[in-house]
Amino acid sequence: MDTSEPIRRTSEIEEITNLYLIHPTASSLTPLFARLGISPNAISLTGMVFGILAGFAYYHYQDRRYVIAGFILMVAWHVMDGVDGQLARLTHSQSQLGKILDGICDYVTFIAVYSGLAAALSGEMGSWVWVLAIVAGLCHAVQSAMYELQRQEYNFWGWDRKSAELLAPDALPASDADGSMVPRLLDMIYRLYVRCQLHAAGIMVEFRQRLAMTLEAEPERAELIRERYRALFAPSVRQWSVMSANYRTLGIFIAALIGGPQYYFWFETVIFSLISVLLISRQRARCALFFKNLDGPKGR
């Protein structure tokens, strides 16, 4: 796996709270964990523990002290989520297992928080709240996958970072008769995960194929093509950052603090879904515009 990429994430598309708070904090901790020999996967699991504890805290959302504790624990999870990726790149220990585990820990964190809030609300409002929480959780999973995909697409096409490469949805899992079962199984799971991401985000496969063929056919223009890609798509990815986990964490905290966590579930289900549709539409328009500009007089 390629390890030549920067340890920290791409700054021009980074969400503002990550850029100025979460990742600087993670960067200060990463060298310490590296010296201690702690693995990125151990960091991911530690973050998940913080997330589960946040779920227990939010179960007592009627007490503001617990709400504040839940928010602090989720911020700690965000920091650990930043550390594990930086640590993996620093120690050249990226792996498909690590990517899968990182995703699982993220989902477990929000499942714990949503469950804690739903359990508390169901005692006050009835069991229908569980349905609302589950629907909100499903929307969250899809929306988060869409946002992460936009980031990976940008890093791969804009900066040629091989570790961000994604597969076409019709690509078959690699078959290696001499390979061991566990790596092959992990490879299949990861490829399936990527296919789901592509499908959920409405990524135009034709655009990706045409861009790949253009880069291959015109290697002398590769840097220009990637520069034009970054110029057009960086603002788009920054718009997608509204779907980031940071804003969800803040939204949960505010809703719980005012005593109405159910409002957050409604917001995620309805408003975020409408925003997703709008962002997908804009993304498709940018894809069409990209080759129009690239093939025009100024693109040459």
- With beta carbons less than 8 A apart as the criterion, state whether 76 and 18 touch: no
| Distance separating alpha carbons of residues 59 and 114, to the nearest angstrom | 9
**Domains along the chain with CATH numbers:** 11-295 (1.20.120.1760)
- Read off the pLDDT of residues 189-215 as tens digits, 9 standing for 90 and up: 767 766 666 666 656 677 888 899 999
Percent of the chain with pLDDT over 70: 85
Instruction: Phi first, then psi: give them for residue 8, nearest 5 degrees.
Output: -90, 165
Question: Given the structure tokens 């990527």, which residue do they identify?
Answer: 194
- With beta carbons less than 8 A apart as the criterion, state whether 18 and 86 touch: no
| Distance separating alpha carbons of residues 112 and 106, to the nearest angstrom | 10
Q: How far is CA 76 from CA 47, 53, 249, in A?
A: 7, 11, 11
- With beta carbons less than 8 A apart as the criterion, state whether 165 and 208 touch: no
pTM of the model: 0.84
| Distance separating alpha carbons of residues 60 and 69, to the nearest angstrom | 10
Mean of per-residue pLDDT scores for the chain = 86
Lowest mean pLDDT among 24-28, 132-136, 167-171: 167-171
| Distance separating alpha carbons of residues 34 and 59, to the nearest angstrom | 35
